[in-house]
Amino acid sequence: MKLFTCKQIAGIDQLTMKLEPVLSIDLMERASFQIADWVIKNINHDWQIYLFAGPGNNGGDALAVARMLAWSNLKCTVYRIDFGRELKGDPVINWQRLEEQNQVILRKIDSEDSIPEIPVDAIVIDGLFGSGLNKPLDGLAKEIVKQINRSGATIISIDIPSGLFGEDNSKNDLSAIIKADHTLTFQFPKLSFLFPENCEFVGDWTVLPIGLHPNAIEQTETPYHFLTKKFISGKIKPREKFSHKGTFGHALLIAGSYGKMGASVLASQACLRSGVGLLTSHVPQSGYEIIQNSVPEAMTSIDPSETVFSEVPDISRYSAIGIGPGLDKKQETQQALKALLQAKPSKLVIDADALNILSENQDWYDLLPENAILTPHPKEFERLAGASFNSFERLQKQLQFSAKYKVIVVCKGAHSCITLPDGKVFFNSTGNPGMATGGSGDVLTGIILGLLAQNYSAEDATLIGVYLHGMAGDLAATEIGEYSLIAGDLISHLGKAFLQLE
């Protein structure tokens, strides 16, 4: 699914009106109906509803929603912010329709004194400002936001929490943004919803389709995408009847050190469960029995060192290489990593300590082979590319890094963010907080490695791997819940995740 900036969404709205064609007031009616329908189905009908309407179309939506809720006999009061300027366009029509309906109490807020007290057991519907916000809220608007946030009431924001920008909030006033429990957003999630620091404003979010025109969406170019099941399913290759283990590649995994062999075991198992033909796990001598016992399907390559990775084996036999989980950062490991990079493997996934070593030797970045896949969590990314003030800024750094070194970067998190050298960005839609547990990342490395070895392109191996990993986590969580989920459960649910994609 494509994701757009607020400005682009306004353009798609306009194009929809022209192409469908539909009048703006009717599009607003359609959008508002979706909101009202969700509210009617999801809230306690005994509760008082306080609707706050701003001066633009977001306010227009709120006015239409109030009228629709009154049809179902919900108890609504509308508070319209009055900046002393006349309402224009569709909000005027919706105001008149409310007056004619005469079932909703109508109030205006023109000073701080007229901001209502809101009881805890009320529902607030926030239609103050939407995607047309052009500067941080201040004055009366900010005071209303603060009063709503203080109330403890359940807050439902229309389209976007008022005060939040759809993309960059680096310069925003964070005390002037609605903290919604639910955000009901039209057609597309806004980019800012995918950044962890905005969770306190956005709450749970739901996308409500409002029938924006497919051609308008198609015509509008964007680098941003949200991974969907349909998109990923289309990339999975069936296994041919006469295929054999040679068809599915031979992966080399360089992982584990004394005391951290679990990383190698988890990544090896995940790699095998991802459909690879053959796997060789390169381990230090002390890891030999562990890997043989825990992953009998894997072959082994034994390092001369008793405890760490210190020497690159002959890599010519392997179709893809994964390196990093549990490696440690000893001097000999650092030199061996450098030697591996100098050998220019054509398909490479780099994780964990291999990334940490890289970030301590930044002059090696130029050695990164084209289309290498780097899978840092945000802290590892910070070590690689420097600190960022927020996720939006981090995304810009990530895009620069991908473009400069021609590599794919996966910044892992609740919505893992994938950047490609050509500037495309993909946010993951699968996964859950149960996956915030040691070893989850090692499993991801194994999955991506397995797919790479099977000759998926670096881009596809990354997109499929990230999506599948989260999906395995979601399947595991439905069975055992998020609390007890451990990395091994991701591996045992990979098969079911593949089945869902077929």
Ligand X SMILES: NC(=O)C1=CN([C@@H]2O[C@H](COP(=O)(O)OP(=O)(O)OC[C@H]3O[C@@H](n4cnc5c(N)ncnc54)[C@H](O)[C@@H]3O)[C@@H](O)[C@H]2O)[C@@H](O)CC1
Ligand Y SMILES: Nc1ncnc2c1ncn2[C@@H]1O[C@H](COP(=O)(O)OP(=O)(O)O)[C@@H](O)[C@H]1O
Catalog residues that contact ligand X under the rule CB under 6 A: 10, 13, 24, 27-28, 31, 54-59, 61, 129-135, 137, 141, 158-159, 186, 210
The response to whether 324 counts as a known ligand-binding position is no
Nearest to ligand X of 59, 326 (CB atom) = 59
- Would you say 159 or 380 has its CB closer to ligand Y? 380
The answer to whether 130 is annotated as binding is yes
What, of ligand X, ligand Y, K ion, none, does residue 27 touch, CB below 5 to 8 Å by kind?
A: ligand X
Alpha helices in 234-351 (DSSP H): 261-272, 288-294, 331-342
Is 460 within any annotated ligand binding site? no
For residue 35, the minimal CB distance to K ion (Å) is 10
CB closer to K ion out of 130 and 470: 130
- The CA distance from 275 to 204, in Å, is 35
Q: Which of 327, 255, 334 is nearest to 291 (CA)?
A: 255
Q: For residues 469 and 464, what is the distance between their CA atoms, to the nearest angstrom?
A: 8
Query: CA–CA distance from 15 to each of 91, 189, 224 (Å)?
Result: 20, 19, 20
442 binds, among ligand Y, ligand X, K ion, none (CB under 5 to 8 A by kind): ligand Y
- Min dist CB 167 to ligand X, Å, is 14
Least distance in angstroms from the C-beta of 414 to ligand X = 24
Answer with the entry of K ion, ligand X, ligand Y, none that 157 interacts with (C-beta below 5 to 8 A by kind).
K ion
Q: Do 350 and 374 touch, CB atoms closer than 8 A? A: yes
CB contact at 8 A, 105 and 77: yes
377 binds ligand Y (CB under 6 A): yes
| 177 or 295: CB nearest K ion | 177
Contact 220, 249 (CB under 8 A): no
Q: Are 54 and 83 in contact (CB under 8 A)?
A: no
- Minimum CB separation of residue 71 from ligand X in Å reads 18
Residue nearest to K ion (CB): 162
Return the one option of ligand Y, K ion, ligand X, none that residue 413 interacts with (CB less than 5 to 8 A, by type): ligand Y
How far is it, in rounded angstroms, from Cα 13 to Cα 22? 10
Do 454 and 249 form a contact (C-beta atoms < 8 A)?
yes
Closest residue to ligand Y: CB criterion:
441
Residue 138 labelled as part of a binding site? no
Residue of the chain from 29, 126, 442, 489 that contacts ligand Y (CB under 6 A): 442
Give CA separation, 179 vs 134, 149, 156, 199, 438, in Å: 19, 6, 9, 9, 31
| 377 marked ligand binding residue | yes
Residues in the chain: 502
Smallest gap from residue 415 Cβ to ligand Y (A): 8
Query: Per the annotation, does 162 bind a ligand?
Result: yes
Question: How near is the Cβ of 414 to K ion at its closest, in Å?
Answer: 23
* Residues 396-435 interacting with ligand Y (rule: CB under 6 A): 412-414, 416, 431-433, 435
Smallest distance from ligand Y to CB 471, Å:
11
- Residue 134 marked in a binding site: yes
Cα Rg of the chain, angstroms = 26
Residue window 312-351: x/- pattern of binding to ligand Y, with contact defined by CB under 6 A? ----------------------------------------
**Cβ atoms of residues 231 and 426 within 8 Å:** no
Q: Name the H helices within 186-317.
A: 199-202, 214-219, 229-233, 261-272, 288-294
- Residues near ligand Y (CB under 6 A), total: 19
Interaction partner, residue 429 (ligand Y, ligand X, K ion, none; CB < 5-8 Å by kind): none
* Smallest separation, CB 21 to ligand X (Å): 12
Which strand (E) or helix (H) includes residue 400? helix 391-405
Closest CA to 334 of 307, 306, 353, 313: 353
- Say how far apart CA 27 and CA 17 lie, in whole Å: 8
Could you give the CA distance from residue 83 to residue 335 in angstroms, rounded to a whole number?
A: 66
Minimum CB separation of residue 470 from ligand Y in Å reads 6
CA–CA separation, 144 and 122 (whole Å): 16
Q: Please, are residues 145 and 176 in contact by the beta-carbon 8 Å criterion?
A: yes
The response to whether 397 counts as a known ligand-binding position is: no
Binding interface with ligand Y (CB under 6 A): 352, 377, 412-414, 416, 431-433, 435-436, 438-442, 444, 469-470
Please state the residue numbers annotated as binding site for AMP. Answer: 412-416, 441
Please state the residue numbers annotated as binding site for K(+). Answer: 58, 126, 162
Please state the residue numbers annotated as binding site. Answer: 57-61, 126, 130-136, 159, 162, 263, 326, 377, 412-416, 441-442
Please state the residue numbers annotated as binding site for (6S)-NADPHX. Answer: 57-61, 130-136, 159, 263, 326, 377, 442
